[in-house]
Amino acid sequence: MAEPTAAEVAIEAVMEKPVERGEPILQVRNLEKYFPLTQGILIKRQIGAVKAVDGVSFDLHQGETLGIVGESGCGKSTLAKVLMNLEPATAGQVLYKGEDIAGVSGRALKAIRRNIQMVFQDPYTSLNPRMTVGDIIGEPFEIHPEVAPKGDRRKAVQDLLDVVGLNPEYINRYPHQFSGGQRQRIGIARGLALKPEIIICDEPVSALDVSVQAQVINLLEQLQNEFNLSYMFIAHDLSIVRHISDRVGVMYLGKLVEIGTDEEIYEHPTHPYTQALLSAVPVPDPEGREGRERIILAGDIPSPANPPSGCRFRTRCFKAQERCAVEEPLLAIPEWFRGQDTPAAHESACHFAEDVDVVGAKGNGANGSDANGDGGETPEA
């Protein structure tokens, strides 16, 4: 076997580095993933690009769950695939325990891949129907035999079945012999096989019945505590994301537009897009529904191949003004909230961010202050 390069040796040393709970384990900086749009049959010419992920930055901390929400096509799965190294990034950095993983190859890349695993959306199509559950869960050991040497594999797979709440005797069954919830448990067991530190869950419960969703979410939470896992949890359903997440990031057309703790995002959203998404979440409590107004977003999500100038949300934003078309708002704590002891002081990419109580969480459904303090810059909805 070839001698490891200096970069590989350095990365392997980093892999061993313990990370304290709460420290960043993954740092994403200005990450971009553009898919080229080409024309022509024999000679292909690039005529543009789908900007699926366009300058996304965030930290994932050890032991936390970061929820990612946003409408279909906003780039959630692409972001996950780039972090998993299933797609190469167009630009930007991904730091794993402080080390840039771009350009890493060979053994070092294999080692990082081992530590970042994924659980996919559809338990019906993501499991090979011709393989037994034992082979599906044990497949990662073929690439990483050091985790479970050949003689120990059956026992390792049975232990994993037990950990995810399935009978270890089911090891020789096929995927079609399981229900949707059980299949997702198999997917989770496979994700855990290599003892990863990070699991990226891409809509892990969207394809399941509501009654089964809670069981799978509870299992994920239990496993997180047991193995000190860090999760990135992608979903459409804002209620589920709130239930499981410590922090939440909201994506729109390839960009993160707001990020904060679950309290900051759900009770003090300052970005109009987050406010619109939250206003559509059903509230079971009739008192909470009182005085609540649904914000209807006009039009469809624009094409990521040709995003609007300035703020990408402006074509659907009920607060848009001229400035929004010419100046792109950056994801930062709005100036007028900086230094204030308020949950509204979190990162939001809006020129006119204001704390609005969309779900009536602060009582009476009353809105927050006139955040930009100008007494009237915000236009009528």
Ligand X SMILES: Nc1ncnc2c1ncn2[C@@H]1O[C@H](COP(=O)(O)OP(=O)(O)OP(=O)(O)O)[C@@H](O)[C@H]1O
For ligand X, which residue of 67, 75, 140, 343 counts as binding (CB under 6 A)? Answer: 75
Residue 279: CB minimum distance to ligand SF4, A? 15
Beta-sheet strands, E only, within 254-327? 255-261
220 touches ligand X by CB under 6 A: no
For ligand SF4, which residue of 178, 233, 313, 337 counts as binding (CB under 6 A)? Answer: 313
211 touches ligand X by CB under 6 A: no
Chain-centroid distance of CA 245 in Å reads 10
Q: Which amino acid is at 363?
A: G
Residue 202: CB minimum distance to Mg ion, A? 6
Cβ count within 10 A of residue 126: 19
The token duo for 347 is 């990162």
Residue 359: CB minimum distance to ligand X, A? 22
126 touches Mg ion by CB under 5 A: no
CB-nearer residue toward ligand X: 74 or 240: 74
Nearest to 271 by CA among 246, 295, 240: 295
**Sign of the CA dihedral with 28 first, then 144, 215, and 205 last:** positive
Site string for ligand X, 280-319 (x = CB under 6 A): ------------------------x---------------
Q: Work out what residue 248 binds among Mg ion, ligand X, ligand SF4, none; the CB cut-off runs from 5 to 8 Å by kind.
A: none
CB-nearer residue toward ligand X: 81 or 268: 81
Strand ranges of the sheet holding 230-235, from the earlier edge strand across to the other edge: 116-119, 198-202, 230-235, 65-69, 247-252, 255-261, 347-348
Site string for Mg ion, 36-75 (x = CB under 5 A): ----------------------------------------
- Please answer whether residues 186 and 133 qualify as being in contact, where contact means their C-beta atoms are separated by less than 8 angstroms: yes
CB-nearer residue toward ligand SF4: 69 or 320: 320
The token duo for 307 is 């995003």
Q: Which stretch binds ligand X (CB under 6 A): 12-20, 68-76, 221-229, 256-264?
A: 68-76
Strand ranges of the sheet holding 24-39, from the earlier edge strand across to the other edge: 45-61, 24-39, 91-96, 99-100
126 touches ligand X by CB under 6 A: no
78 touches Mg ion by CB under 5 A: no
Q: Which of residues 272-311 bind ligand SF4 (CB under 6 A)?
A: 272, 311
- Please answer whether residues 82 and 53 qualify as being in contact, where contact means their C-beta atoms are separated by less than 8 angstroms: yes
249 touches ligand X by CB under 6 A: no
DSSP letters, 6-33, are HHHHHHHHHHH----TTSEEEEEEEEEE
End-to-end Cα, the chain, rounded Å: 65
Q: Which stretch binds ligand SF4 (CB under 6 A): 137-145, 163-171, 176-184, 316-324?
A: 316-324
Contacts for 246 with CB less than 8 Å, ≥ 6 apart:
61, 64, 65, 66, 261, 262
Q: How many residues bind Mg ion (CB under 5 A)?
A: 1
The length of the chain, given as a count of residues: 381
Say how far apart CA 246 and CA 62 lie, in whole Å: 11
CB-nearer residue toward Mg ion: 78 or 275: 78
72 touches ligand X by CB under 6 A: yes
For ligand SF4, which residue of 53, 80, 112, 324 counts as binding (CB under 6 A)? Answer: 324
Number of H helices, E strands in the chain: 12, 11
CB-nearer residue toward ligand SF4: 52 or 350: 350
Q: Which stretch binds ligand SF4 (CB under 6 A): 38-46, 101-109, 345-353, 366-374?
A: 345-353
Contacts for 325 with CB less than 8 Å, ≥ 6 apart:
308, 309, 310, 311, 314
Site string for ligand SF4, 199-238 (x = CB under 6 A): ----------------------------------------
Interface with ligand X by CB under 6 A: which residues? 35, 50, 52, 70, 72-78, 304
Interface with Mg ion by CB under 5 A: which residues? 77
Interface with ligand SF4 by CB under 6 A: which residues? 271-272, 311, 313-314, 317, 319-320, 324, 329, 350-352
